[in-house]
Structure 1
Amino acid sequence: MYFGACYYPEHWPEERWETDAEMMKAAGFNIVRLAEFAWSKIERYEGTFDFSWLDRIISLLGNQGIKVILGTPSATPPKWLMDQHNEIYMRDMYGHVRGFGNRRHYCYSSDIYQTYVDIIVDKMARHYAGNPNVVAWQTDNEFGCNDTTRCYCDNCLSKFQAWLKRKYTEIDSLNDTYGTVFWSQIYNSFEEVVLPAFTVFPLHNPSLVLDYRRFASDSVIDFQKKQIDIIRALAPHQSITHNMMGAFNEIDCYDLSADLDIASWDNYPNLMFTKEVNPALAAMQHDMTRGLKQHNFWVMEHQSGQPGGNIMFPTPKPQELRRWTYQSIAHGADGILYFRWRGCLFGAEQYWHGILNHDGKPGRKYREVQEVGNELARISAIIEGSVNKAKVAIVRSYDNEWVFEIQPHVMHYSYMEHFTRYYQYFYDKNIQVDIISPDFNFSEYSLVVLPNYIMATDELVEKVNAYVRLGGNVIFDFRAGAKDWNNRMEPLTLPGKFAELLGLTVEEYGVLNKGESRKVAFGGVEGSFTAETWFDVIKTEQAEVLATFDEDYFAGCPVVTKNRYGQGHAFYIGSDLEPALMELTLDEVCKVAETEASHGISAPKGIELVSRNKAGQAYIFVINHTVLSQTIQLHRSFEELLGESVLQGEVVIEGNGVLILAGAKEQV
């Protein structure tokens, strides 16, 4: 297991480097990331490359047993390059140039920029291909961060038009698909097609906008692929990763990850915009990252201090770093690199704090990281090679998420917030989840959830039908099947191609704006519940009704249904359910799908249980996300790895505490 930090030796006097390396070793580090923003340090003048300083720090770290991940520095093209070729700059949807002064000020579609990137990546890969202390590469940095994927420059226009020509071949195929007869938008050639930039008001053809989102994502993937090809040709034994952004959605990260050896992401659980940190959100993004390649992953930037640019976010409290670290490992992280080693004295991230504060002296955070390092030195060999297993999968479709951003249906509606409601339920019940692509295999899961699956291919429809016929269970919800894969409405009664599977039709529907809700009755459960955002007026064909609306003109109409299909079941939810109603509904689903948690542990709210499994052995991470001591009940004896003791019966776990329990059979 890799354990370390992101380090910027170019920010510090060279006489400090040895001290840092010694302190890193004392903290248990065996890896650091270097150079992802160091282009102007490596190539200060065009064509003059200086690797001497990087050689020295890599050697010095190697002497302490610390390996290196090198970043390709393409996120920060230097000023001399931008001055020579200002056509490289991105343009926003209003035509404004995104100028120098931050980072990622380049256009992915620029052939000129690609040439310069190819040169520096080639130079770095040749220089470090045989260096035994360099074990991996990180491409660029945080693709898709800060709305930097969608560019509206002339490079992008011509490349987009070429992309469309490859997809549609004939212009009238595009016209027919988009329905350009609407508003007199028929194109006579691909060269006439526009980018969906600012117009009278932001209401472009939805099919055009979706294709542009797909093109923008593909542009990043192509840009990265060229770097990967260079590194693989010169340094085939060094792994390649990229630090993705969890729930961020500018890029289809399934496609981005396909070319990588390892998926990574940047985890900042305390970068909060709400009053309380919800640990389920970090857990969900860990599971998203693991699902990109259905394999364990790295956390390339792991919060170690209070984040901040011009303002600062909350300071991690004692033992929070340790708790967050073990949550990451529990969900499949095989590499942890804290961001950052030390707070910088200058530049735009002076307030982005690290393990060490600006004075460079070891303090509380360093001692906490050192504690984790000492623990991992003892247990990493035990848990290495273990993986997460789940019976439940939630399908994340970037295309469907983009469609809801293009046309959210209801003001302020968020696909990801809706998606998170499902995840929150399983998290609260300690039922492990995989988050997967619609292209992945469903057969290994007892339950598959497809939130807001408004667009579907014929292949996906048949895949789901076959899965349920053979005994699988699925959940669909409102807007399922409304559109084809090109973002145009299907001429079918809803839920379209899923109607037979779900055993119902939707006769009409409507929105419930913010603050609106309708009462719902759930089976024989006493009391009234509410639903919001949307209502479907459902007519059941074969489906069994689990819950009904209890007011308005559609009172008595189903809200939640269950349909037997072959050997399995298909559930449908025709509104956004309040938490208590969501819990009742998903409790019923999990009973049918037999997906209840079975860790052999009873735990109160605030305790997260996650299992990694290896060779029939389960390692159960018990994480207390509260500041108060909590009591859990163990239904068998367990060996506790961190404390090296045997536990059974009632066990008290301190606030922010972590246990790793072994001794259970392989279960999920």
Structure 2
Amino acid sequence: MLRLELRRGVASKRRKSMTQRRAFHWPQPLEGQQARIWYGGDYNPDQWPEEVWDEDVRLMKKAGVNLVSVGIFSWARIEPREDVYDFDWLDRIIDKLGKTGIAVDLASATASPPMWLTQAHPEVLWKDYRGDVCQPGARQHWRPTSPIFREYALKLCRAMAEHYKDNPYVVAWHVSNEYGCHNRFDYSEDAERAFQQWCKARYGTIDAVNDAWGTAFWAQHMNDFSEIVPPRFIGDGNFMNPGKLLDFKRFSSDALKAFYIAERDTLAEITPGRPLTTNFMVSSGNTTVDYDDWGNEVDFVSNDHYFTPGEAHLDELAFSASLVDGIARKDPWFLMEHSTSAVNWRPINYRKEPGQLVRDSLAHVAMGADAVCYFQWRQSKAGAEKFHSAMVPHAGEDSQTFRDVCELGADLNTLADNGLLGTRLAKSRVAVVYDYESEWASEHTATPTQQVHHIDEPLQWFRALADNGVTADIVPVRSNWDEYEVAVLPSVYILSEETTRRVRDYVANGGKLIVTYYTGLSDEKDHIWLGGYPGSIRDVVGVRIEEFAPLGTDWPGTADHLDLSNGAVAHDFADVITSVGKNATVLASFQDDPWTGMDGRPAIVGNTYGEGRSVYVGARLGRDGIAKSLPAVFASLGVEAADASDPRLLRVERKDEATGTKFTFLFNRTHGPVETSEEGEPIVTSLAKADGGKLTIGPNGVVVVKR
């Protein structure tokens, strides 16, 4: 048993403070209108001559658009010279939109500074880790820690808020845009001073910093906070202090958050009744900032998501949307940006297949979004994103894209008419835990293998569970994962003392826990839990690991895989499990040449602990191997192997707890038609047919059934 009692009180206070959230505050409809699912996108009227505006409004009404985001990158137009403001054009378009019944999500316009500002104050430009200055010419070329840039940005916020505080058509503030998309890390002198202050606030003494960073190694001991420098360039092939690097990632997230809070509070002081948000970039592969931490600071969570091309498209979208729902703690959330078809920023920009425009949007709605917006309304004819798809493409109104946009608008109105607003994503029985800090720590360049990070594993578990008929909830590590019937910790590299306590209490009190390789190697300081892996929960999972067996092909003769006795195959990584607990049962073993030392070793182990059970998966099995292993894993945990769901379909349910009304969304995960039945009334179909009680859902198809 771990001796954690002395610090539990401190940890509990820390957890309580981390989970305090702003009250949920959703944008309200314009006066005289009913609440609907918000539908629209980024609108950039300043990119077009004014005679196009009336045509835009006509097409918006035709498509069912009821909200647009305006002014996101308009600082240079709003303030063309210092202290000279031009609101006339913005007044005209907001008035035109509002009088037609289209609400405005108004940006603070601070996302990118104008040329006059950066020429007058080049010291606001961020520096990379080699000390090179990021020059203007794109976007987000500002330092989050620059007091000069903050002064100018907050002055613009005050001007915007004062001018539009009484405007009846502005229903929300869109604060900046995608914080950290390009300026996540800054290594400037401003950042150095701010990092020193952040370390002092976090640790109190320089000795505590030395302990956290393990500076006894390589003579890195510091005598004063002034000796702390950002993790700048240290030479090719060298290794940065992992504790410093992890803290710099935490600091960078906090520095951007502090800038957002300054903007938010400036706007809120002048317009106290208007909700505020900023658009996150939550996806399976994006850990720019700690979005769960940021979720505490917005009035409503909003997200930008862009599809993954190929066979993972739907599953990755559903995974990411579920994570947003977890960050929002099941309050409604706002899909602020996604694409009608191709993006412009990949080496190859694949288009969406027929039906995916509607299906993708409805998948976000299924996962809890009460707003569906795109980047952008009208496709640009010039600039860096002119090949990014839009609601009105270059081809114009007479296009399949715009016809699909209109179809989606009608579908969203149908859902609202049938009472979808007010429902929430129904809770799954399985939670898959996602942890931003575990990913940051596992990104270090001196680890057992560069092929394994935390971020690789949660999506594979989500997909494998779906292959077994279970649509899991993706939840942040700070959330209520310990209130689910089954919880999965997939390569959660960091287990803090507080998270360790939660794991132990969860299983001891009857929880069913699945833990994978690379979980619980370190504490929150990235100090290894000693005594054998996973150090802080060895007795909970019933295994002791002495070393790792990475797999690869970079040297002749090295093993690139290990077979398991259950037919699964391990790639990239395996644990050398040297002993199992007295209450443990080996569910699968490795099969290999005897001389390797892996043949016959445990690979998957079930265990009992207190009133609960656990299963430890000691290798990277991938989606197929996890799916193959799950029936035995569930049997060991004492739960049914699958819900009553066809694994060819992704089944998602939103529910009104007060009335019991349910909306079941059925998405085809295959490239062939799927026949099924579902009790209730089909109210929305796309690439699908309803014939009596039988549903036929085609590729990229979806059916929504009300019951």
- Taking the aligned partners of 1:514 and 1:213, their CA distance within structure 2 comes to 31
- Of 26-35 and 547-556, more deviation after overlay is shown by 547-556
**Map 1:89-108 → 2, pairs under 5 A:** 89-108=125-144
Amino acid across the alignment from 2:281 = M
- Taking the aligned partners of 2:539 and 2:702, their CA distance within structure 1 comes to 47
Q: Is the 8 A contact 2:42 2:374 kept in 1?
A: yes
Q: Is the 8 A contact 1:456 1:485 kept in 2?
A: yes
Q: What's the counterpart of residue 350 of structure 1? A: 386
SS in 2 for 1:563: strand
**Map 1:327-338 → 2, pairs under 5 A:** 327-338=363-374
Q: What's the counterpart of residue 540 of structure 1? A: 580
Q: Does 1:396 align with 2:434?
A: yes
Q: Is the 8 A contact 2:305 2:337 kept in 1?
A: yes
- Taking the aligned partners of 2:549 and 2:665, their CA distance within structure 1 comes to 44
Pairing partner for 1:280 from 286, 305, 315: 315
Displacement of 1:509: 2.3
Q: Is the 8 A contact 1:304 1:365 kept in 2?
A: yes
Q: What's the counterpart of residue 549 of structure 1? A: 590
Displacement of 1:597: 4.9
**Map 1:490-529 → 2, pairs under 5 A:** 490-514=529-553, 516-522=559-565, 525=566, 527=567, 529=569
Q: Does 1:421 align with 2:465?
A: no
Q: Does 1:252 align with 2:297?
A: no
Q: What's the counterpart of residue 16 of structure 2? A: none
Does the C-alpha gap of structure 1 residues 625 and 368 become closer, same or farther in structure 2, counting only changes over 3 Å? farther
SS in 2 for 1:383: coil
Q: Is the 8 A contact 2:366 2:654 kept in 1?
A: yes
Pairing partner for 1:111 from 131, 144, 147: 147
Q: What's the counterpart of residue 20 of structure 1? A: 56
Pairing partner for 1:83 from 113, 119, 123: 119
Amino acid across the alignment from 1:544 = T
Q: What's the counterpart of residue 666 of structure 1? A: none
SS in 2 for 1:262: coil
Does the C-alpha gap of structure 1 residues 627 and 535 become closer, same or farther in structure 2, counting only changes over 3 Å? closer
Does the C-alpha gap of structure 1 residues 216 and 293 become closer, same or farther in structure 2, counting only changes over 3 Å? same
Amino acid across the alignment from 1:213 = K
Displacement of 1:366: 0.9
Q: What's the counterpart of residue 39 of structure 1? A: 75
Q: Does 1:162 align with 2:204?
A: no
Q: Does 1:470 align with 2:509?
A: yes
Pairing partner for 1:479 from 499, 505, 518: 518
SS in 1 for 2:483: coil
Displacement of 1:648: 5.4
Q: What's the counterpart of residue 653 of structure 2? A: 611
RMSD of aligned Cα (Å): 2.1
- Taking the aligned partners of 1:164 and 1:8, their CA distance within structure 2 comes to 41
- Deviations 1:157-184 (Å, cap 9, x if unpaired)? 1110111122222222222232212211
Does the C-alpha gap of structure 1 residues 245 and 421 become closer, same or farther in structure 2, counting only changes over 3 Å? same
Q: What's the counterpart of residue 453 of structure 1? A: 492
Displacement of 1:510: 2.7
Pairing partner for 1:7 from 26, 35, 43: 43
Displacement of 1:455: 2.1
- Taking the aligned partners of 2:56 and 2:255, their CA distance within structure 1 comes to 39
Q: Is the 8 A contact 1:306 1:312 kept in 2?
A: no
SS in 1 for 2:699: coil
Pairing partner for 2:608 from 537, 545, 564: 564
Q: Can you give the 5+ residue segments of structure 1 that lack an aligned partner in the other structure?
A: 664-668
Q: Is the 8 A contact 1:311 1:351 kept in 2?
A: no
Q: Is the 8 A contact 1:207 1:486 kept in 2?
A: yes
Amino acid across the alignment from 1:255 = D
- Of 617-626 and 119-128, more deviation after overlay is shown by 617-626
Q: What's the counterpart of residue 265 of structure 1? A: 303
Pairing partner for 2:474 from 435, 446, 458: 435
- Taking the aligned partners of 1:104 and 1:434, their CA distance within structure 2 comes to 33
Q: Does 1:584 align with 2:617?
A: no
Displacement of 1:528: 6.6
Q: Is the 8 A contact 1:638 1:648 kept in 2?
A: no
Q: Does 1:341 align with 2:384?
A: no
Displacement of 1:638: 2.0
- Taking the aligned partners of 1:514 and 1:75, their CA distance within structure 2 comes to 44
Q: What's the counterpart of residue 638 of structure 1? A: 680
Displacement of 1:11: 0.7
Q: Does 1:238 align with 2:238?
A: no
Displacement of 1:224: 0.4
Q: Is the 8 A contact 1:446 1:593 kept in 2?
A: no
**Map 1:168-247 → 2, pairs under 5 A:** 168-201=203-236, 202-247=238-283
Amino acid across the alignment from 2:576 = D
Q: What's the counterpart of residue 660 of structure 1? A: 704
- Of 649-658 and 321-330, more deviation after overlay is shown by 649-658
Does the C-alpha gap of structure 1 residues 72 and 370 become closer, same or farther in structure 2, counting only changes over 3 Å? same
Displacement of 1:35: 0.5
SS in 1 for 2:605: strand
Q: Is the 8 A contact 1:447 1:595 kept in 2?
A: no
- Taking the aligned partners of 1:310 and 1:467, their CA distance within structure 2 comes to 42
Amino acid across the alignment from 1:550 = Q
Displacement of 1:492: 2.5
Q: Can you give the 5+ residue segments of structure 2 that lack an aligned partner in the other structure?
A: 1-36
Displacement of 1:504: 2.2
Say how many residue pairs are matched: 651
Does the C-alpha gap of structure 1 residues 569 and 517 become closer, same or farther in structure 2, counting only changes over 3 Å? farther
Displacement of 1:491: 3.0
- Taking the aligned partners of 1:321 and 1:595, their CA distance within structure 2 comes to 35
- Taking the aligned partners of 2:561 and 2:650, their CA distance within structure 1 comes to 33
- Deviations 1:125-158 (Å, cap 9, x if unpaired)? 2222222211111111112324x21111000011
Does the C-alpha gap of structure 1 residues 564 and 141 become closer, same or farther in structure 2, counting only changes over 3 Å? same
Q: Is the 8 A contact 1:637 1:648 kept in 2?
A: no
- Taking the aligned partners of 2:450 and 2:690, their CA distance within structure 1 comes to 54
Q: Is the 8 A contact 1:430 1:610 kept in 2?
A: no
- Taking the aligned partners of 1:611 and 1:265, their CA distance within structure 2 comes to 21
- Deviations 1:600-641 (Å, cap 9, x if unpaired)? xx5362x32111111322211112245543222x2x632111
Does the C-alpha gap of structure 1 residues 500 and 653 become closer, same or farther in structure 2, counting only changes over 3 Å? same
Amino acid across the alignment from 2:232 = A
- Taking the aligned partners of 2:545 and 2:311, their CA distance within structure 1 comes to 38
- Taking the aligned partners of 2:646 and 2:481, their CA distance within structure 1 comes to 30
- Of 294-303 and 38-47, more deviation after overlay is shown by 294-303
Q: Is the 8 A contact 1:375 1:642 kept in 2?
A: yes
Does the C-alpha gap of structure 1 residues 643 and 512 become closer, same or farther in structure 2, counting only changes over 3 Å? closer
Q: Is the 8 A contact 2:520 2:537 kept in 1?
A: yes
Q: What's the counterpart of residue 87 of structure 2? A: 51
- Of 646-655 and 415-424, more deviation after overlay is shown by 646-655
Displacement of 1:349: 1.1
Q: What's the counterpart of residue 385 of structure 1? A: 422
Q: Does 1:291 align with 2:333?
A: no
SS in 2 for 1:642: strand
SS in 2 for 1:497: coil
Q: Is the 8 A contact 1:108 1:220 kept in 2?
A: yes
SS in 1 for 2:549: strand
- Taking the aligned partners of 2:466 and 2:439, their CA distance within structure 1 comes to 22
Q: What's the counterpart of residue 527 of structure 2? A: 488
- Give percent identity, aligned residues only: 30
- Taking the aligned partners of 2:671 and 2:100, their CA distance within structure 1 comes to 36
SS in 2 for 1:576: coil
- Taking the aligned partners of 1:474 and 1:31, their CA distance within structure 2 comes to 43
